[in-house]
Amino acid sequence: MKAIKKLTGETAIYGMPSIVGRFLNWWLTPYWSYIFLNQAELGVIINIYAYVAFLFVILTYGMETSFFRFAAKEENKNSVFSTSLISLLFTSLSFLILVFVFKHDIASMLELSGKPEFITIMGVTVVLDVISTIPFAKLRLQHRPIRFAYIKFINIGINIGFNLIFLTLCPMLIKYNPTGFFFNII
């Protein structure tokens, strides 16, 4: 009975950041609708999110599940972790190199020919998410739900913060100082 209580508690803690993150990201949609008055621009962002989800599944290629299966054996934990992480690093960085090299072609193919930086941002985002899967899986394997949730909540805060900074604060600063530092960043 004690094991079931522990499992239930950990499952709730592991799931909470995912639920809160999805809810808060859902609230970004009205914000984006306000910022991007042109519906075509918002449609581009929604399409990119769909590609991100698809690419994440392809680039993780079941490695998280494999990690859990093989790391459960006590003697293999460290070698399974390093092998899994190196494998994901290699394929993700290869993918990122391809994105950087062919970003203009990919942008044209996705009807974003004027915005190759969207492809670059998408590639970097996917790679960072893919690489983080094994360390998060290791935290779950070590039964460290509080640290797992804490890091996930920090990630959610950074995501929302960057949305607010780059879509509201920076344009406002550029409006009042068009030749300043933020103009060069944006």
Q: 0.75 exceeded by the pTM? A: yes
Mean pLDDT of the chain: 86
Give rounded-to-5 percent helix, strand, coil for the chain.
90, 0, 10
Tell me the per-residue pLDDT of 102-140, one tens digit each, with 9 for 90 and over. 999 998 888 877 788 889 989 999 999 999 999 999 999
Cβ–Cβ contacts within 10 Å for residue 65, how many?
11
**Sign of the Cα pseudo-torsion (147, 148, 152, 158, in order):** positive
Closest CA to 20 of 154, 164, 126, 153: 153
- Percent of the chain surpassing pLDDT 90: 38
Domain locations in the chain?
42-143
Closest CA to 140 of 18, 40, 1, 30: 18
**Helix residue ranges per DSSP H, 110-144:** 116-141
Q: Residue 108 corresponds to which tokens in the numbers above? A: 């044209």
82/72 Cα distance (integer angstroms):
14
Could you tell me if 138 and 81 are in contact, meaning their C-beta atoms sit under 8 angstroms apart? Answer: yes
Q: Which of 2-6, 76-80, 153-157, 164-168 has the highest mean pLDDT?
A: 153-157
